Amino acid sequence: MINCIAIDDEPLALKQLEGYVKKTPFLQLAATFHSATEAKAFLSENSVDVVFTDINMPDCSGMQFVKELDNPPLIVFSTAYEEYAVESFRVDAIDYLLKPYSYQDFLKAALKVKQYHEWKSAKNEHTDETPTDEYFFVRADNQSIKIFTNTILYVEAMSEYIRIHFKESKPLMTFMSIKLMMETLPNDRFMRIHRSYIIALDSIKSFRRSEVELSDGTVLSVSATYKEDLQKYIENKTVGRK
């Protein structure tokens, strides 16, 4: 079971969220809170796997609450304001629910949580094994498919799915969060440049302002959040600098 807490200052919204959690067989609700302050006190003495939290709350916003956690669990935000979506990805939220949302919307987010939790648990169980950065498996078309990391051009987020673009073959789509994919890929060979893109560093053809061109001619946007890291990488690989 995946242990979770729910936070929302609106009683009806919290009641709905509580009902959705209890309806989902792999989730276990540890507690509910009307404020982030109460939830923070609970987490100081208890651990959970995931927090479902509203963003707009009077005592402390859900965003600020997450930023103040020393070791935050998985986070799923909810709010009535669409403009918070970008900021939620900056703190590595697993998903974002726009109010009013249905149980099907909630379930999609919960399945992302389940997938990430199972991957993390499996990884921890095999820490004594020698890891490999050469390949991994994903589920697609009702089968497990081996992906060699050196064949990947870039990865694109597609709502609850990701599309893996390859250097010499057709793209492949699989149910996975881009956060999980970033943790799967070797970080010395791949870099996130946008909330929707991860690129293979050896596929960079050129970089200018807020765009990167890849070896196949694909041009992708680089967001302000990740631009500095890419610039540092380019500078470190540049010869003849003054």
76, 27 Cβ separation under 8 angstroms: no
Q: Give the model's pLDDT for residue 183.
A: 85
- The mean pLDDT of 81-86, rounded to a whole number, is 66
What is the per-residue pLDDT across 136-179, written as a single tens digit (0 to 9) for each? 888 887 777 889 999 999 999 987 789 999 999 999 998 888 88
Judged by average pLDDT, the poorest of 90-94, 100-104, 144-148 is 90-94
Digit-coded pLDDT (tens) for 3-62: 999 999 999 999 999 999 999 999 999 999 999 999 999 999 999 999 999 988 888 888
Task: Say what angle helices 103-125 and 11-23 make with each other, to 10 degrees.
Answer: 60
pLDDT computed for residue 129 by the predictor: 45
Domains in the chain (CATH in brackets) are 2-125 (3.40.50.2300), 135-237 (2.40.50.1020)
The average confidence (pLDDT) of the chain is: 87
85 CB contacts (<8 Å, ≥6 apart)? 96, 98
Which token pair is 195? 């909330």
| Residues of the chain above pLDDT 70, percent | 91
CA neighbor of 175 nearest in space, from 84, 228, 110, 241:
110
Q: How many other C-beta atoms can be found within 10 angstroms of the C-beta atom of residue 77?
A: 25
pLDDT at 131 over 60: no
Q: What is the pLDDT of residue 141?
A: 78
Residue 30: how many other CB atoms lie within 10 Å: 16
Query: Which of the residue ranges 81-90, 131-140, 214-223 would you say has the lowest mean pLDDT?
Result: 81-90
- Whether the per-residue pLDDT at 206 is higher than 90: the answer is yes
- The number of residues in the chain equals 242
Chain centre to alpha carbon of residue 99: 20
Are residues 84 and 77 in contact, defined by beta-carbon separation less than 8 angstroms?
yes
> What CA–CA distance (Å, rounded) separates 179 from 87?
15
Distance of CA 242 to the CA centre of its chain: 38
Amino acid identity, residue 228? E
DSSP code string of 89-106? HHTT-SEEEESS--HHHH
Average pLDDT (174-203) is: 91
Instruction: Quickly list H helices, the chain.
Output: 11-23, 36-43, 62-67, 85-90, 103-125, 178-184, 224-237
Report residue 127's pLDDT band, with 50, 70 and 90 as the boundaries. very low
User: Left, alpha or beta for 209 (phi > 0: left; psi -120 to 50: alpha)?
Assistant: left
On the 0-12 / 13-18 / 19+ scale of CB atoms within 10 A, 151 is middle
**What pTM was estimated for this model as a whole?**
0.63
For the ranges 100-104, 148-152, 167-171, 237-241, the lowest mean pLDDT is seen at 237-241
pLDDT at residue 94, as a whole number: 83
Looking at the DSSP assignment, which residues form a beta bridge with residue 200? 190
